[in-house]
């Protein structure tokens, strides 16, 4: 579980909510290449999309999703090699059948063994800007506890009701 | 014996006819009864779906530097409009631009949903014979547009535009993360 020092905004979504966080609060277990920054849009490139920490309520689980859009002044090949090396060192395993590397875009997929965590890295080379744009998602599935497990022990004995019976007697 | 000898030419003709016709009928049969698998056929898609997909890809291309999306033709901004070219090629588009493009994407995808009920986007793209890499690329471009739309909400992208895209993606079985 990651903790953030502060957040910029709470957003409601169709199936949950999300927090917009600062660049500095990006998760440590999915590192970014050196010199990475937020992508800036608009004429002055001053419209930033901040990373998002999102909770999405599904019927059988809650999805916790970290996502962010970043840029780095490295070639697509360099960025692909960086992620493949760095994430493997961090314990992530690649999913070869879902990994695609083309001349101007790439899609890399990783999972963390024995957990429900996976990471998707979507890369695109911007020729005019000479940078690579990275959109990254880290998804963790939190299964719903069973009905019995979800009731705290203190509530199973119904102590308030018992007290009421005793007081009445 | 005499009777057998008289019927011999008839039997021989029948055998010869069968020998000629059997391979012809046998080889023709698959062509007559063969039905293409839904996974590889385009005939099960509603009319106009391919054109709508191409248009959606063209608008997604605007948000990816004018690169090809899903193997469809890329968007090439006009050379005589440097400001517009910069919006596309240098990522200098505004929230209002993104709102307009996402609205167009919503419009095309909505028509695809209406014409092909109960089909996922992945199935629709498979039936257009896109490769797994092209399908992945198309879906990723759509997810990136969703990330951009929600990130620019309040900065030119309206809540309606962003939430409509989310709902259409849900109808098409596209979860917002890969």
A43, A49, A127 ranked by CB distance to B148: nearest: A49
Higher pLDDT, B4 or B155: B155
Q: Indicate yes or no: CB of A14 within 8 angstroms of CB of B144.
A: no
- Whole-angstrom distance, CA of residue B82 vs CA of residue B129: 36
Task: Please count the other Cβ atoms lying within 10 Å of the Cβ belonging to residue A153.
Answer: 6
For B109-146, what is each residue's pLDDT tens digit? 999 999 999 999 999 999 999 999 999 999 999 999 99
Residues of chain B found within 8 Å of residue A120, distances taken between Cβ atoms: 177-178
> Residue ranges of the domains in chain B?
1-34, 49-171
For residue A4, what pLDDT is reported? 65
For residue B36, what pLDDT is reported? 43
- Whole-angstrom distance, CA of residue B139 vs CA of residue B136: 5
Residues of chain A found within 8 Å of residue B176, distances taken between Cβ atoms: 56, 65
Is pLDDT above 70 for B99?
yes
Q: Are A65 and A139 in contact (CB under 8 A)?
A: yes
> Binning pLDDT at 50, 70 and 90, where does residue A115 land?
very high
Q: Indicate yes or no: CB of B140 within 8 angstroms of CB of A135.
A: yes
Q: Which ranges constitute the DSSP H helices of A21-158?
A: 76-89, 147-150, 153-156
As for the ipTM of the complex, it is: 0.81
Task: Classify A9 as helix, strand or coil.
Answer: strand
For A56-89, what is each residue's pLDDT tens digit? 998 989 999 999 999 999 999 999 999 999 999 9
* Sequence-separated (6 or more) residues with CB below 8 Å from residue B93: A41, A42, B62, B63, B87, B101
Q: Are B67 and A105 in contact (CB under 8 A)?
A: yes
């Amino acid at each position: 579980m990651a903790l953030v020092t502060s957040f910029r905004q709470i957003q409601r979504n169709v199936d949950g909510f999300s927090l917009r966080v600062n660049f500095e609060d990006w998760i440590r277990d999915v590192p970014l290449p050196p010199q990475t920054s937020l992508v800036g849009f608009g004429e002055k490139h001053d419209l930033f999309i901040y990373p998002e920490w999102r909770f999405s309520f599904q019927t059988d689980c809650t999805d916790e999703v970290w996502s962010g859009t970043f840029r780095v002044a490295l070639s697509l090949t360099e960025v692909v090699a960086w992620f493949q090396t760095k994430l493997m060192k961090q314990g992530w395993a690649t999913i070869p059948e879902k990994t695609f590397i083309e001349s101007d875009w790439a899609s890399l997929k990783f999972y963390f063994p024995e957990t429900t965590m996976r990471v998707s890295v979507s890369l695109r080379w911007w020729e005019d800007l000479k940078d690579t744009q990275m959109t990254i998602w880290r998804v963790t599935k939190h299964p719903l506890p069973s009905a019995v497990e979800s009731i705290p022990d203190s509530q199973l004995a119904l102590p308030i009701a018992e007290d009421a019976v005793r007081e009445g007697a | 014996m005499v009777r057998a000898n008289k019927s011999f030419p008839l039997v021989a003709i029948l055998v010869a006819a069968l020998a000629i016709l059997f391979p012809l009928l046998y080889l023709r049969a698959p062509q007559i009864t063969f039905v293409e698998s839904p996974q590889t056929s385009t005939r099960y898609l509603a009319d106009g779906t391919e054109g709508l997909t191409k248009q959606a890809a063209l608008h997604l291309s605007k948000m990816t530097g004018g690169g090809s999306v899903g193997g469809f033709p890329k968007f090439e901004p006009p050379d005589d409009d440097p400001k517009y070219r910069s919006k596309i090629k240098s990522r200098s588009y505004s929230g209002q631009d993104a709102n307009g493009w996402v609205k167009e994407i919503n419009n095309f995808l909505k028509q695809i949903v209406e014409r092909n009920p109960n089909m996922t986007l992945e199935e629709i793209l498979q039936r257009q014979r896109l490769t797994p890499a092209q399908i992945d690329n198309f879906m990723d471009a759509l997810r990136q547009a969703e990330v951009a739309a929600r990130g620019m909400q309040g900065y030119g992208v309206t809540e309606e535009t962003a939430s409509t895209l989310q709902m259409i993606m849900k109808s098409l079985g596209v979860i917002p993360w890969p």
